[in-house]
Structure 1
Amino acid sequence: MNINVPGLRNSGPGHWQSIWETNYPAQFYRITQTNWEQPDCQQWTTQLEKELSSFNLKEVVLIGHSVGCATIVNWHYRFGKQIKGALLVAPSDVDDPNYPKYITGFSPLPLRKLPFPSIVVASTNDHVVAYERAKYFAACWGSELVTLQNAGHIEGKSGYGNWQAGLELVSKLSGETIVA
């Protein structure tokens, strides 16, 4: 199962996570949070752990966007669970001194090698994370790095709606073809 872990404001209807869930409902599931406007690491990782309890983690690929990536990494180091893989798209730099103060508890971001396959997708002009920082995260986590030129924050308003290349990365991690 492919499980979306959205970031701030829950990835709206034009976001690739939402489109994938609509187009492939049997293959994508969304984690729900109680407060999408003020992400809190303790609450978000607890909710992720709670919802994952009904899945076979050996078959789970977590797909994070923005602070959803920080949620996945913090969840792993908090609970120590093994999954099939993780796609970490436009990971937020929660350690940046200018990072929004209403997003709490995610810093310091764990920067140890992840014990499962992972791919970091980074844009050369993301306003949420400098490309060099995303590249550094990928190196620390032992992740494959996929670089997108001038892709903004890799979201709907950046032109990433039904993001076919992203689906191919999910398939790479899961070993399964995404079909409607």
Structure 2
Amino acid sequence: MKASNVLLLPGWQNSGPDHWQSLWEAAHGYHRVEQHDWMRPLRGDWSARLEETVLDADGPVVLAAHSLGCILTAWWAAHTRHAAKVRGALLVAPGDVERPDLAAQIHGWVPLARQPLPFPAVLVGSRNDPYCSFERAEGLAQAWGTRFIDYGERGHINAESGLGEWVEGHAWLRELAGDAA
């Protein structure tokens, strides 16, 4: 799979320079789906941007989503006519936007899409994620029909988790892309 067809979907506030998504972008040339407003995410705008990017891609794509990017993936997949272009999705540490404290900060993302994803996916959840309980992550994986990986106590599986380039996660992405050795 071409590097430009691996789409990185950061969450709220984007992914900083030490985040595994940013490190993958720098090391492998993957394509970050740039949103118009990282601080005040609007589900319709983010979905439209993902739709444009998937349609513009030269061939099938693989999605690597973090946090709100996971919620975006499920919403987009439930509403697009172009899900067949997605070969697979790595969904990491979904943010629970239905939780009252997060819903107050991130408006307009409720309800969560709970339909099974129309493409293969892996959801990686942490037992001590401050933005989504382990049980909730497991439940989303079940609703979306994804393989679930219990990643132990790794926080929000971001730069603060000390993952660096996150070789293990990259191997799961490559499997989904059909590039595994």
1:49-93 Cα deviation digits (max 9, x unpaired): 112221146x21111100011111111112232211111100111
Other-structure match for 1:39 = 41
Aligned-CA RMSD value: 1.4
- The DSSP-based 3-state class of the residue aligned with 1:116 is coil
Partners of 1:78 and 1:38 lie apart in 2 by 22
Q: What are structure 2's unaligned runs of at least 5 residues?
A: none
Other-structure match for 1:6 = 10
Q: What are structure 1's unaligned runs of at least 5 residues?
A: none
Other-structure match for 1:172 = 175
1:132 positional shift? 0.2
Moved more, 102-111 or 162-171: 102-111
Partners of 1:12 and 1:177 lie apart in 2 by 27
Partners of 1:9 and 1:146 lie apart in 2 by 25
Which structure: greater helix fraction? 2
2:75 paired with 1:74:
yes
Cα contact 1:74–1:106 (8 A) shared by 2? no
Partners of 2:161 and 2:103 lie apart in 1 by 21
Other-structure match for 1:97 = 100
Using the size of structure 1 for normalisation, the TM-score is 0.92
1:34 positional shift? 1.1
- The DSSP-based 3-state class of the residue aligned with 1:62 is strand
Partners of 1:40 and 1:21 lie apart in 2 by 24
Cα contact 1:62–1:86 (8 A) shared by 2? yes
Using the size of structure 2 for normalisation, the TM-score is 0.92
Other-structure match for 1:112 = 115
Other-structure match for 2:127 = 124
Other-structure match for 2:25 = 21
Q: How many residue pairs end up in the alignment?
A: 175
- The DSSP-based 3-state class of the residue aligned with 2:102 is coil
Partners of 1:56 and 1:88 lie apart in 2 by 22
- The DSSP-based 3-state class of the residue aligned with 1:61 is strand
1:72-118 Cα deviation digits (max 9, x unpaired): 11111122322111111001111112214232222111111111101
Cα contact 1:122–1:148 (8 A) shared by 2? yes
Partners of 2:115 and 2:125 lie apart in 1 by 19
Moved more, 102-111 or 112-121: 102-111
